[in-house]
């Protein structure tokens, strides 16, 4: 029952979005072309860095080298105390929390793509518990010096976290975000709906990650509620192209225009303050 309850948010999300994730997994596992084994190893360094960054983001330590040293300390310290742990239930729990780290790395080693931070949410929880166990084990030694060091670490991490959160909040509120944040995306959608002057239209989206579901979700959640309809995705009639340029390769959308869109008379092209390009076409 506990296992089922833990996955209820994911199940609800899948049901609401037409089993998008499940279909993607099945397609990836059973309907993809065979690739040489060597291609998997090309992503190992990137995956390793993703795991290091996940720990770094968990404790918000500014310096990466200090963060990596702290990671080694937490893992090594946890293993050391677990080898001496007499409480069997506690030992099993924290052995499990340690094991899921290499298990995650092994599972994601088969992914021929980037490992994003939110893929590793379980490891964030694991690192926090392991750190707590390390502090708990140090305090059990009843050493004044070790207790003082433990208290210093906890206070230091709390202060770093609070300062980082304040800085992030101030930056987020003042930063428009361009194409990366919700405000820029919503403004682009508002512009297209208003420019159509109530006419039904089709919308084609180009985004560097290839996947356009953030825009599909916004159209469903925001566009439909505010303007009463969701645009189609066909290449006929009044068509708007919403283009999110890749920061590192801003020219890549040109290939999409030539190979995917191809046809239609260009009515106008507008670059919005956020950086989005909106092109109106008649097809």
Can you give the pLDDT of all 283 residues of the chain as single tens digits?
A: 666 777 787 788 778 877 777 777 777 666 655 555 555 567 778 888 889 889 988 887 777 888 889 899 999 999 999 999 999 999 999 999 999 999 999 888 877 777 888 889 999 999 999 999 999 999 998 888 888 888 888 888 888 888 878 887 777 666 667 787 888 899 999 999 999 998 999 999 998 877 788 899 999 989 999 999 999 999 999 999 999 988 778 888 888 888 888 888 999 999 999 899 999 999 8
Total domains in the fold of the chain: 3
**51, 153: one domain:** yes
**Same-domain check for residues 242 and 136:** no
What CA–CA distance (Å, rounded) separates 57 from 241?
A: 36
In a domain, 125, yes or no: yes
Domain of residue 90, residue span: 43-174
Alpha carbons 268 and 283: distance in angstroms, whole number: 13
Question: Does residue 109 sit in the same domain as residue 200?
Answer: no
Q: For residue 74, how many other CB atoms are within 10 A of its CB? A: 21
In a domain, 38, yes or no: no
Q: Helical H runs in 176-256?
A: 182-195, 213-218, 224-227, 253-256
How far apart, in whole angstroms, are the C-alpha atoms of residue 148 and residue 139? Answer: 9
Separation of alpha carbons 248 and 32, rounded Å: 28
167 and 187 part of one domain: no
Q: Let me know whether 84 and 19 are in one domain.
A: no
């Amino acid at each position: 029952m506990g296992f089922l309850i833990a996955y209820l948010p994911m199940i609800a999300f899948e049901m609401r979005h037409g089993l998008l994730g499940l279909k993607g997994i099945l397609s990836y596992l059973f309907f993809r072309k065979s690739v040489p084994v060597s291609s998997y190893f090309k992503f190992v360094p990137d995956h390793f860095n993703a795991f290091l960054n996940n720990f770094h983001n968990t404790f918000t330590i500014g310096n990466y080298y200090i963060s990596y040293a702290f990671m080694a300390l937490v893992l090594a310290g946890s293993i050391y105390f677990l080898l001496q742990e007499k409480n069997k239930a506690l030992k099993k729990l924290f052995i499990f929390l340690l094991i899921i780290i290499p298990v995650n790395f092994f599972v994601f080693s088969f992914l021929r793509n980037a490992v994003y931070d939110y893929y590793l949410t379980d490891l964030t929880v694991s690192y926090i518990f392991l750190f707590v166990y390390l502090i708990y084990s140090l305090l059990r030694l009843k050493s004044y010096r070790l207790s003082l060091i433990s208290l210093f670490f906890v206070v230091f991490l709390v202060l770093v976290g609070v300062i980082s959160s304040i800085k992030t909040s101030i930056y987020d509120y003042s930063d428009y975000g361009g194409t990366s944040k919700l405000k820029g995306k919503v403004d682009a959608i508002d512009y297209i709906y208003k420019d159509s002057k109530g006419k039904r239209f089709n919308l084609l989206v180009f985004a560097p990650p290839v996947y356009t579901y953030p825009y599909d979700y916004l159209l469903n959640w925001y566009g439909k509620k505010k303007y009463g309809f969701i645009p189609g995705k066909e290449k006929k009639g009044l068509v708007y192209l919403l283009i999110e340029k890749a920061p590192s390769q801003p020219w890549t959308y040109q290939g999409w225009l030539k190979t995917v869109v191809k046809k239609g008379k260009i009515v106008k092209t507008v670059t919005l303050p956020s950086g989005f390009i909106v092109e109106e076409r008649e097809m």
